[in-house]
Structure 1
Amino acid sequence: MLEHFPFYLSLIVIIVLLIMLANKIKVAYPVLLVVAGLAISFIPGIPVIRIDPELIFIIFLPPLLYEAAWAISWKELWHWRRIIGSFAFIVVFFTALSVAFVANHFIPGFSLALGFLLGGIVSPPDAVSAGAILKFVKVPRRMSSILEGESLLNDASSLIIFRFAMIAVATGQFIWYEAALSFSWMLIGGVGIGLLAGWLFMKAHKYLPTDANMDIVLTFVAPYMMYITAESVHSSGVLAVVSGGLLLSNKRHSFLSSTSRLRGVNVWESLCFVLNGLVFMLIGLDLPEITAGLGDVSIWAAIGYGALITLTLVIARIISCYGAVFTTLIARNFITVADTRHPGYRSPLVIGWTGMRGVVSLAAALSIPVKLDNGIPFPQRNLILFITFIVILLTLLVQGLTLPFLIRKVKLPDFDATISEEEADLQIRQQLSAHALGYLRTQYATQLNEHAFLQQLARKWEDNSALQLDNGITTAGKAVYIDLLAQQRQWLLLKNSREKTFDEEIIRKHLVYIDLEEEKLRFL
């Protein structure tokens, strides 16, 4: 390991350079990283990379899921809960079922149980790939919210399918009532453990004498504790991290200081930047080891099987997207749905094309044991590994490179915004200034007449101009300003919870502004 340390350092430098190039040429960086890893693996003398699945599941997956849970809007997640739930569970199961029948029919030696195993591996789309692509094109807010929410939950559902299929392959039988009980425990236990752990960490942040550095360290510990605890009692570690992360994210302003929030965002963004880059680079570097284990299956036949499964995944997802629209059109006659407007044919097509696969699929495939408990080699293990790699490569290259073109070509309608982002931003500025000014004049009328700083602050809010703080601020004036900022923060959070259709991204931006204002006071 130590002798290869310079190689791993150079990989990080290469990753940074490739992501710079990806941003320059407006290509999703996972595509370049996988291709670069594949190219590097053929250079003579390059160390052979053997990816330990436990490394990905334990080291990589919890922090990446946790960061995604902190980034997503709980309001948007709840608003689109039905469509997100159907994509994360029903569509994943339908996709796995489709792969199972296709593999059983067309790939020699594949039983239905092995087909389900393969389906569980390749069914979840990768959130990082879709997110990296969508940042180069403008899509309606609802679409990005659905994709983000789906990506948080589909890993859990696919890994549950994978576990049950592993049991069926190993034992040769499938007892439905035992599977139902196990499935229920994985869901309920995972969510329960995540919420309990999240609550405990929230209390630790709130009542222990922590500073910003300690708070950030605790946020690193949290996802690993949630994941390991849940997995140790055979429930879903993924759901534990997601549920715990959502709880802490939604309550962050009640237990973290502005300093902890601002520093934490920067640290976590840097960490996940490195982790995501390493994962996709390692996918490409691992190809020689995967290819070497194909045995009697020719490389071209294996590529053909991979292309067939990829086509099955794409078709199943597109069918599911249009099926979801059809179901919503029927359901709106009986229940209240998130939106009654018809999305047309374009939106389901784009969502159906966002099915790039990635790290979870590869980790699941690598976690297949080499031998069964009775010592017999695990059937078709090497072919499953190779097919998984081909699926990842093809979906990243074909769908990843063509998705921006497709989005621009179909010209998606934007049902979300009744006013432009600029108008919404100006509206928040004006209303927030009016709220703070009214609070200042009613609660601190005496101090307003005595302190020049507060008078300057009042003028700033009157004309909505930029605040120019100087070093002459008094301790009393600073205390009043901190209370005013707290009032602004509470007003924003209340507005966000009351107005269900208002874009939470605008609210979050102004919460950051308030955090920055509070942070500036430390240096005055």
Structure 2
Amino acid sequence: MHTILPFLLAMIAVIVLLNMWAAKLKIAYPILLVIGGLLISFIPGLPKVKIDPDLIFFIFLPPLLSDAAWSISFKEMKKWWRIIGSFAFLVVFFTALSVAIVTNHFIPGFTIALGFLLGGIVSPPDAVSTGAITKFVKIPKSTSAILEGESLLNDASSLIIFRFALVAVGTGQFIWQQATLNFLWMVIGGVGIGLLLGWIFVQAHKRLPTDAPSDIALTIIEPYLMYWIAEQAHSSGVLAVVSGGLFMSARRMLFLSSTSRIQAFSVWQSFIFILNGIVFLIIGLELPEITDGLHSKGIPLSTAIGYGLLVTGILIAARIISSYAALVATLIFRPSVAPAASSQRMRLTMPLLLGWTGMRGVVSLAAALAIPVTLDNGTAFPSRDLILFITFVVILLTLLVQGLTLPYFIRRTSAFGEIFNQESEESARQKMKQGIKQHAYQFLKNKYDNELNGHAGMEKFLKHMEEKAKATDDSWMNEKTKTIFIELLESQRQYLSELNKDVSINEELIRQQLYQIDLEEERLKML
């Protein structure tokens, strides 16, 4: 413990320093973390980082998935569900199948089951990497929603493939009828358990006398409970966390106070940042041990690197082919929902850019590390070290090659800006703010007309609302006006909730404004 604790603290310090350096260089921090972990691994005397394969999913996946479910716009997911659904399920299966066929043909001793296992591991793109990379270039929120929604759902589909392939490798057989029933139960049971637990947790927050610290503690515990209970029922823990997280996210205004929401935002941001940083560092730190395993199996490093390059090429090609296939299918069968573009060139550029966003990361590493060291009969798991090495090469190459070139491609083309024909973000923000001001005035005028007339405090507050200036004198505030103002803020939240039903309004703008209202309510409570 005295050896590991300083090492863990040093890891967090390295994560923070590398993140600051990445921000200065304007590149995605996962890229520097992977390279940093690789360089650190060569320092002599460092303790080896070893994580129990049975715990790797349980430690990292639930909070990461929950955070993604709370962050994503469900409205945008519904708007682009065809693209998200095809990439999250059809493309994942096509990618895993392509990897299985090619690796079975080119890698000696690699069975179809092992190929599907590897395909399930490396098929899901990583939302964290994509988000970190696109942070430095402007892309429409709808595009971000497609990438985030795909990453949220394809984690579940790829891990289902991974689980069935793991069973096939261990037992040497695959029974389609049983697999179909198991698949249906994993999907239906996982979603059902997640929704049920999400409802229970919402009721617990509403009915128990919780404060902000206890609310935040519960939000950290809840995804772990969803995952664990679903896994105990032999359904999909990933789908349970995703469905439960989406259910609770849509109702956050109903069961969390403004204090809990504001404090939880900062706590979760730091928590997820540290988890992601540790995982990306582990990717680099694990490489020397993986290469030692290859040497012990007599596999030359150059040969293993060649296999990694082969699989990376398959992944990139499969995603780009799938992107164009999805566009063609949409134009043929559902032309009314095809993305509008100002030119044919712009329409053809969109699938290429979507296909180039397939960086791999956290989920792929977690799945690879979760492969058991031995089978149930005690024999070594076949090709485990090779699968781990190929996964590492795929993550490293997609982060470096696609991650470093994607911002350049987006800047060189205006395809994203022209394909998604939507109102500019600044214009939408100004319209929303003007609507809130008008709503606030009408609310006070209609409900508190007597108090409004001639009341210096109310007039001062309205001036504050109009000019967005901080009040320098709080003596005008009494309990009566404070109650009215907090009621006004709640009315604004209801107005924004109704406004969010408009599919043309960006939900991220709504959330930003709701956060501002929460801050205003906290300020009022302090007066």
CA distance in 2, matches of 1:430, 1:120: 48
User: Residue type of the partner of 1:311?
Assistant: G
Amino acid at match of 1:429: K
The CA distance in 1 between the partners of 2:323 and 2:25, in whole Å, is 30
User: What secondary structure does 1:95 align onto?
Assistant: helix
TM-aligned CA deviation for residue 465 of structure 1: 4.3
**447-456 or 235-244, which moves further after superposition?**
447-456
Match of 1:477 in 2: 481
Q: Which amino acid aligns with 1:436?
A: A
Partner of 1:26: 26
Q: For residues 312 and 418 of structure 1, what CA distance do their matches in structure 2 show?
A: 34
Q: Give 1:192 shift.
A: 0.7
Distance 2:326 2:469 in 1: 47
336-345 or 139-148, larger mean C-alpha shift: 336-345
Secondary structure at the aligned position of 1:345 is classed as: helix
- Structure 1 CA distance for aligned equivalents of residues 381 and 13 of structure 2: 38
Q: Which residue of 1 aligns with 2:439?
A: 435
Alignment counterpart, residue 405 of structure 2, candidates 402, 405, 427: 402
Provide closer, same or farther for how the CA distance between residues 450 and 206 of structure 1 changes in structure 2, counting only shifts above 3 A.
farther
Q: In structure 2, what is the Cα distance between the partners aligned to 1:370 and 1:270? A: 33
Task: Say if 2:374 is the partner of 1:344.
Answer: no
Give the alignment partner of residue 424 of structure 1, picking from 400, 422, 428: 428
Code of the residue aligned with 2:330 in structure 1: it is T
Q: What is the distance in 1 between the residues matched to 2:63 and 2:2? A: 25
Spell out, residue by residue over 1:225-246, the C-alpha distance to the aligned partner (whole angstroms, 9 max, x if none). 0000011111111111111111
Q: Which residue of 2 is the match for residue 356 of structure 1?
A: 359
Does residue 457 in structure 1 map to residue 461 in structure 2?
A: yes
Deviations 1:249-268 (A, max 9, x none): 11101111111111110110
Q: How far apart are the structure 1 equivalents of 2:472 and 2:193? A: 46
Query: For structure 1, which segment, 336-345 or 448-457, has the greater mean C-alpha deviation from structure 2 after superposition?
Result: 336-345
3-state SS, counterpart of residue 453 of structure 2: helix
CA distance in 2, matches of 1:373, 1:54: 14
Given that 2:330 and 2:338 are in contact with CA atoms closer than 8 Å, whether structure 1 keeps it comes out as no
**Displacement of 1:467 after TM fit?**
5.1
CA distance in 1, matches of 2:506, 2:130: 21
Find the counterpart in structure 1 of residue 196 from structure 2: 196
What TM-score results when the alignment is normalised by the length of structure 1? 0.96
Name the residue aligned to 2:300: 298
1:417, 1:433 → 2: CA distance? 27
What residue number does 1:373 align with? 376
Counterpart secondary structure, 2:337: coil
Q: Is the alpha carbon distance of 1:9 and 1:467 closer, same or farther for their aligned partners in structure 2, counting shifts above 3 Å?
A: closer
Q: For residue 329 of structure 1, what is the amino acid of its counterpart?
A: L
1:53 to partner: Cα distance: 2.9
CA apart distance, 1:163: 1.1
Quick check: 1:124 aligned with 2:121? no
CA displacement at 1:141 relative to structure 2: 2.1
TM superposition shift of 1:436: 0.9
Contact 1:139/1:412, CA 8 A, preserved across alignment: no
Matched, 1:516 2:519: yes
For residues 491 and 236 of structure 1, what CA distance do their matches in structure 2 show? 37
Corresponding residue SS for 1:403: helix
Taking the TM superposition and a 5 Å limit, the aligned residue runs for 1:139-288 are 139-288=139-288
Alignment of 1:101-120 (within 5 A): 101-120=101-120
- Contact 1:433/1:464 (<8 A) preserved: no
- Taking the aligned partners of 1:116 and 1:67, their CA distance within structure 2 comes to 28
SS of 2:380's equivalent in the other structure is: coil
Task: For 2:474, give the aligned amino acid.
Answer: N
Structure 1 pair 124/465, CA: closer, same or farther in 2 (3 Å)?
closer
Indicate how the Cα distance of structure 1 residues 186 and 167 shifts in structure 2: closer, same or farther if over 3 A, else same: same
Residue 82 of structure 1: aligned partner: 82
Structure 1 position 218, deviation (Å): 0.8
Counterpart-to-counterpart distance in 1, 2:483 and 2:176 = 63
Tell me by how many angstroms 1:373 deviates: 2.2
Q: Name the structure 2 match of 1:52.
A: 52
Q: After TM superposition, give the deviation of residue 48 of structure 1 in Å.
A: 1.5
Counterpart of 2:491 in structure 1: which amino acid? Q
Shift in Å, 1:340: 5.4
Matched residue of 1:125: which SS? coil
353 and 305 in structure 1: CA distance in 2 versus 1, 3 angstrom threshold: same
Moved more, 402-411 or 313-322: 402-411
- Seen in structure 2, the aligned counterparts of structure 1 residues 248 and 470 have a Cα distance that, compared at 3 Å, is farther
Deviates more, 1:443-452 or 1:179-188: 443-452
Could you say what secondary structure the match of 2:415 adopts? Answer: coil
Distance in 1 (alpha carbons) for counterparts of 2:5 and 2:226: 30
Closer, same or farther: CA 112–439 of 1 in aligned 2, 3 Å: same
Report if the CA contact (8 A) 1:50-1:289 is conserved.
no
Shift of 1:174: 1.3
1:321 maps to which residue?
323
CA shift, 1:55, in A, is: 3.6
Bigger mean CA deviation after superposition, 434-443 or 413-422: 413-422
Deviation by residue 1:187-206 (Cα, 9 ceiling, x = unmatched): 11111111111101101111
**Cα distance between partner residues in 2 of 1:379 and 1:128:** 31
Shift of residue 400, structure 1, vs aligned partner = 1.2
Alpha-carbon offset, residue 183 of structure 1: 0.6
C-alpha distance in 1 between matches for 2:84 and 2:423:
26
SS at match of 1:2: coil
Retained in 1: the 8 A contact 2:190–2:238? yes
Is the deviation greater in 408-417 or in 324-333?
408-417
Matched-pair contact (CA < 8 Å) for 2:4–2:47: yes
Match of 2:333 in 1: 331
Q: Which runs of 5+ in 1 are unaligned?
A: none
| DSSP 3-state at the match of 2:17 | helix
* AA of the residue aligned to 2:21: L
Distance in 1 of aligned mates of 2:46 and 2:441: 64
Secondary structure of 1:269's counterpart equals helix
The match for 1:447 among 442, 448, 451 is 451
Q: Does the 8 Å CA contact 2:259/2:518 hold for their aligned counterparts?
A: yes
Task: Answer yes or no: is the 8 Å Cα contact 2:70–2:249 preserved in 1.
Answer: yes
Measure the CA separation in 2 of the matches of 1:429 and 1:344.
33
Aligned amino acid, residue 316 of structure 2: V
Q: What amino acid is aligned across from residue 266 of structure 1 in structure 2?
A: S
Mapped to 2, the partners of 1:338 and 1:506 lie a distance apart of: 25
TM-fit CA distance, 1:460: 4.1
Q: How many residues align?
A: 520
Moved more, 105-114 or 163-172: 163-172
> Are 1:80 and 1:338, in contact at CA under 8 Å, matched by a contact in 2?
no
Contact 1:124–1:357 (CA under 8 A) maintained in structure 2: yes
Structure 2: runs of 5 or more not aligned: none
Amino acid at match of 1:421: E
Match of 1:386 in 2: 389
SS at match of 1:45: coil
Give the Cα separation in 2 of the matches to 1:101 and 1:385: 19
The alpha-carbon deviation at position 469 of structure 1 amounts to 6.1
